[in-house]
Structure formats: structure tokens, C-alpha cells
Structure 1
């Protein structure tokens, strides 16, 4: 084992350049091939891109804690632009109570009451797009499906009022951009940060939320003493920050996968119970959340080297999810694959607490599409949306052929 920098492979690559954000796969392959740990001098970072090391860093919260921030900024030395997340950017014991509260509110058992309603909402959305529009329907899969469905059901489930929901996507986009360097993508969102942050903060107040949603359940937990009243609005805010964009781009990924893989679409139509597998496979294949940072608590050994104390380590979730050392034929979108074990939702103590919500949204929309659509095909080349953390589409032109009654 070594602690010397010259023994660590070095690559002068920029994970946040527009060229890389447009197509990160070549850089990710180069990082995996270079070694288990790679030094990125441009940002003075240590990077892990192979599945084994990414998973190891994710689960080792004691030595790679999140409390110094899961972005490039080090909260030990820099003041974050917003209060740190009690879930993503906290470690035990501070992480424990908020996590336990949300795990109960967002767990599979609790979500059963939403299943029928969300499946009906998906049927209604798809019917509205197809009925009376002819033998072939062309639409933008992002705006008409991937954005429309989460913005329809998730804010309702949280308990948000109808007015102002259009702020959720630009707020989330800036939040995920801010995990990266202070580049042009961050500057683009900066003029609206104050307005969007104020709106989101206002939605977290008890009196704004309906009395039957996730938000009310979080405030009820504060009444019981499970969390403090000061923690309740911050937990609601975490839901609004991370609960929309991730699902939107997960849906974009699965729509793209099904449109470009006719065999997968045929499988889903024949076996609609595979809808959840299709969504998870898309999260593995496209990895909407591409990267997260941790910070070395001390000198931490990983991958045959040692990350120096207080240094950031950049975990390439997208690269790990396509690591041929772990996955067979990883570049293929395959509904016969078991994608469980992918790191698209993180792993370990900080694994995404809302993943069951995202899966339910995905299953509802895909089931409705499989029932009502005979063929789904690209209508034109998709357009990427660049974000420092997320792999996303700006536009996804699709051609849908409705199924015959």
C-alpha cells in the first residue's frame, strides 16, 4: 500500500466539461482502466470509477463521511449555499432520526395507499396523450411523460399547493449543479437561487402543507418527539430537493431505453410485471445521478492506495454501473438482467430513502404505456441537458403507436 501521489494513476480529465457531460462513457472507461483509484489534478480530487471501490466508499460512512458535503465544496472549510441536508449531508447520530422518520413514511408498506391512485393517474395521463390523436402520436417524452407524471403525483403526495410547482425542476437542477465546481452551469442558475430557495422554504411550513401528505406526516413526527420542530421543515425540503429531478430523469432514461430497444419493449408489453425491473435497469444503464462526493475523515486506504485526510473522493456511480468487472454486457439495456445491486440510488446508510417512491412512479407510468401503446420509437435524436451531477435529457422525441382496442 502506498500514500505517495506519484504511485496513483493520474488523468487530466474534466468530469464537468460540456464534452464529458454530453457523453461521459469514454471518460468513465478511461478512469476504470487507469486503476481502482485515480487522481484528478484539475480539481485535486481522488476518483473511484470501478464498482468494487465505488460501493466500498459508499458504505464506509465512518471513514468517508457525508457531513462535509456530497459535492465538491468541503463544509469544514466552506459555507454551503443552503442548510445542509439532514439526510444526504449528515452522518450518525444526526442522520439517524430523520432517516428513520422518512423510511417509515416512504417505505413500501406506507406507499400501498398511493398505488391505485398513481396507477389511475398514469392511465389518465397516457389516455389524454393518445385518445383522438390518430394512428401515430409524436411527442416529447420528457415534457409529456417524464416531467408531467412526477409533477402531477409527487407534489400531491407531499401535500404541496398547486401554485408554484413549476419552481421544483429549476430549483432541483441548480441544487444538483451546485454539487460540482463553480462553472457556467452553476452561474446559469445563480440569478434565481434566492427566489427559488425562498419558495421551497415557504412550502415546508406546516400551515402550507395539506394534512394528508408526506409533509404532514413529517410534522406529526416532530409532534411525537421523533424529530425536533426545527428538523421537520428541513426534512420536507430534502424531499423537494431530491425527489423530483431524479425521478424525472430516471423516467427519461427508461423511455429512451425502451424506445431504442424493441426487444425490451416487447418484453414489457408481454410481461408488464417487469415494469419495476425496467425502471431499475434504466437507472443502472443511464444512472441519472452520475456522481457523488465524500471526504476522507483521515488517511483512508482504498483500492491499494491511501486517500489523504480531508481530501474529497469523487465516486462515479454511472461508471460503476457499467463496470464490466461486475456486470455482463453492461452497455446493454436488458430487461432479463437482475439490476439489483446497482449504485444508482447510492448504497449503505445513505442510500436514497425515496427510491421506493421513484419505483412506484416508474411502475405506474410504464404499466399504463405498456397497456395503451403498441410501439414506442425514437422520432428524432434526443437532446441532452447538461448538469454537473445528473445525466439528463432536455428533449426526447418519441413516436407512439396506440394499441388497437
Structure 2
């Protein structure tokens, strides 16, 4: 890749969605940060930001950095989206406000308190099952995928049948935020079937009476949201509530396998389980990128991003920016990771982040009671996605 730096706007000929860069994005992200606060990516004719200061500012300035034109490469001002846009992720005020408020209430502290004891018990049961099969596992299917798929669909109120569709649907959705490359093409034969299944689950009659989904529909009965918005909000839960958590859990398990001293700290002080998850989200950034669209001519230093242009924000690069973080490439529980942008920032910040934290706390607490050491037994394998930093396999030995 080549990055050149003229007087005002550095440019790059790199393709951040090329498979080799998705496999190992860190060198490119370092070059992007060093080139300047804004870089033009010639491959896609978009502007890019990799420094923490500018990424955080863009995430919080929804008035100038629009989400409603799509948070992927496609510009909804000129292109028709492949599915109805998310009323949360791909909407701005005032259209964003009522759905956000309704879901925030559904996923609030009272709801999580009701789930806490059951999820802690579920995590204990899962870890017991895993350890009963021997001490060598693949952490991705055995833990990182198994636990969210065990507890989150129940909380939403989904039936048991068909839950295996959630991961491939989410995988394609996050791939589709990028260009139409081989990763998108691989998922296209299954899109219609997966979308039909997900849309069916979002209907009131298919949801358990006591889950998050039913509560969202109840909000429509009260007039807090419309009956058209209700299934789209449930869909947002199913789209963004599984893959992101799976990859966050995989990241924290990989972190402990490669940093045994940090695992010992959690065993000594289980309260660090939540800090560990946030540090892993900062360190690995399960969501690597999101786009915005300029609503006016935006001035950043000497650079002007013209109205209507797409801006690619590298959350992963911002979360390892040495201008913000000391020794950013280290996974370190002595660090305060609050302020990372792994969950976004501002009004579009992930509304389900506290649910993900509770899932991680439950799983790590269960492991900490039984497992003295987490050790890699082979080479981990990445699962490539245009937006997500994912794992296909993390072979581990759990020492009890």
C-alpha cells in the first residue's frame, strides 16, 4: 500500500476491505493514523479517519456526520438499501429518537437485574458441560458462540427452532456494510431465506410474551413507537445483538490465553471481569469500521470533506491510537478502558452494550471459579468480515 501526504489531504491506494488487510489490519491502521487526521481512500473515493480525537468527534456529531444515508459504503441518498434501513443504526433525530428511547427502556437496568441470576446460573451450567468433555476446546463454538446463543434469544423471546440462522444473517449484514467483494458474494445465495426467517421472528405472534420483543410491541400499543417500527427494532436486536457479543467474548478469551498474568488478576479479583471485557473490546474492536455521510462541508484542520461524501471511521484504529492510549497494543487490566469507541459514541452508541457486558461477566465469572489457566494449544484462525474483527477458531486448554 502507498500513502502519500500532499500539503492538505493525504491519500492512500490501500483497500481496507482486501482480504489480507482484513486478516491483519493493524499495520494499515497505524499508517492511516500517522498520515493525518483525514485521509482520502482512492479505491472507494471516500474519506477516512483513524485517530481517536477525530473518530470520537464524528461519532458524537450526528448533525454533520449523518447515519441516515447508511453506515456502510452505500449512500442511501443515491442507492436503494438491500433491506429496510435500521430505525436505530441508520436513522437520525427526530426519526431515531422514539425507537432509541423505547429500546433503552426495554434494555434498562431493571431488565438486566431480572436476567442476572439466571444468566450467571446458565454460565455455570455451560462451563460445567464444557469441562466435562475434557480440558481441550475450541473456544469459539464452545463458549463465545454457545453462551450468547443460549441466553440472548431467550431474553428476546425467540422460539428454539432456527436460532442457527442468527449468526449467518448477522455475518452477511455486517459484510454488506462494505463493498461488494467475495465476502458479500458468498452470503448472497442465502440472504432471501435468512431475511425471511428473521423477519418472521420479529412479528408479535412469534415472540414469547415475556421477552424483549414482546415489550417492544407493547411500546407500540402505548403509542411510544409505531407498529411499523416495532418489528424493525426487534430486527435490530437480532442483527446486532449476537455477532458483536460473540466476537467480544472471543476477543477476551484470546486475550487471557495470551496474557496469563491478566487472567490471574481476574481470578484474584472477579470484579475485574467487566473491565476485562471493555479492555478486550478496546484492544480487538469487534466492530472495526462504520461509515457516515457529510451533511455539509466539514472542515477538519486544512481538509474540507464536501457535503454528501462518505466518511469511513476506523474504530479499531482509534482504539489503538497512541495519542489517546499508553501502550495501546497491550491488553492491560491496569488500564481504564472507558472512553473506547468500540461500542460507538453519542446517540448511536450501542444500546445493547450493557447486555453484552452482563453476558461476559457471567461467562468469565463461571470460568474464573473453575479454570486456573487458559492456554492456546494451536494457531487461532480468523473469520473474515468486512466490518467485524472475528474469529473462526481459538483452540484452548482450560486448566482446572
The yes-or-no answer on 1:129 pairing with 2:130 is: yes
For residues 108 and 222 of structure 2, what CA distance do their matches in structure 1 show?
Answer: 19
Q: What is the CA–CA distance in structure 2 between the aligned matches of 1:233 and 1:20, rounded to whole Å?
A: 36
Partner residue in 2 for 1:249: 247
Q: What is the CA–CA distance in structure 1 between the aligned matches of 2:370 and 2:304, rounded to whole Å?
A: 54
Q: Deviations over 1:15-36 (max 9, x none)?
A: 0011101100000000000000
Return the offset for 1:303: 4.2
Deviation readout 1:238-277 (Å, 9 max, x if unpaired)? 1001000000000000000011001110101101111010
Question: What is the CA-CA distance between 1:108 and the residue it aligns to?
Answer: 2.4
1:320 alignment partner in structure 2: 318
SS at match of 2:216: helix
Give the paired residue count: 396
Segment of structure 1 superposing worse, 5-14 or 336-345 = 5-14
1:15–1:24 CA contact under 8 A, matched in 2: yes
* Aligned partner (choices 184, 187, 193) of residue 185 of structure 2: 187
Q: Deviations over 1:125-183 (max 9, x none)?
A: 000111363xxx11000000000000000000000000000000000000000000010
Say whether residues 1:397 and 2:395 are aligned partners.
Answer: yes
Are 1:382 and 2:375 counterparts? no
Q: Which moved more, 1:295-304 or 1:177-186?
A: 295-304
**Pair 1:365 & 2:363 matched:** yes
Pairs within 5 Å for 1:102-251: 102-131=103-132, 133=134, 137-251=135-249
Q: 1:348 aligns with which of 337, 346, 366?
A: 346
Taking structure 2 as the reference length, the TM-score comes to 0.98
Q: C-alpha deviations, 1:374-395, integer Å up to 9, x for none?
A: 1101111100000000001000
Within the candidate set 289, 292, 305, 1:291 is matched to 289
How much has 1:6 moved relative to structure 2? 6.6
SS at match of 1:176: helix
Shift of 1:336: 1.3
Q: Partners of 1:101 and 1:6 in 2: how far apart? A: 47
Secondary structure (helix, strand or coil) at the match of 1:207 reads: helix
Question: Hey, what's the Cα distance between the residues in 1 that align with 2:26 and 2:384?
Answer: 14
Structure 1 gap segments, 5+ residues each: none
What is the Cα-based RMSD across aligned positions, in Å?
Answer: 1.1
Is the 1:53–1:303 Cα contact (8 Å) retained in structure 2?
no
Q: Which residue of 1 aligns with 2:30?
A: 29
The answer to whether the Cα contact below 8 Å between 2:71 and 2:291 also exists between their aligned partners in 1 is yes
Q: Distance in 2 between matches of 1:115 and 1:28?
A: 37
Q: Is the 8 A contact 2:166 2:238 kept in 1?
A: yes
Instruction: Give me the whole-angstrom Cα distance separating, in 1, the residues matched to 2:370 and 2:121.
Output: 13
How many Å apart are 1:7 and its aligned residue? 2.2
- Give distance in 2, aligned partners of 1:342 and 1:303: 23
**2:333 and 2:145 mapped to 1: Cα distance?**
23
Aligned counterpart, 2:98: 97
Q: How far, CA to CA, are the matches of 2:126 and 2:347 in structure 1?
A: 36
Shift of 1:98: 0.3
Distance 1:132 1:298, change over 3 A: closer
- What pairs with 1:36-75 in structure 2 (closer than 5 Å)? 36-75=37-76
d(CA) in 2 for partners of 1:8 and 1:225? 48
- Give 5+ residue unaligned stretches, structure 2: 1-5
Q: CA deviation at 1:110?
A: 2.2
- What's the secondary structure of 1:272's corresponding residue? coil
Q: 1:268-298: CA deviations, max 9, x gaps?
A: 1101111010000000000000000000001
Q: Which stretch shifts more, 123-132 or 165-174?
A: 123-132
TM-score by length of 1: 0.97
SS of the aligned residue for 1:7 comes to coil
* Cα deviation, residue 330, structure 1: 0.4
> Quick one: distance in 1 between partners of 2:226 and 2:102?
11
Q: Does residue 82 of structure 2 align to residue 84 of structure 1?
A: no
Which secondary structure does the structure 2 equivalent of 1:172 belong to?
helix
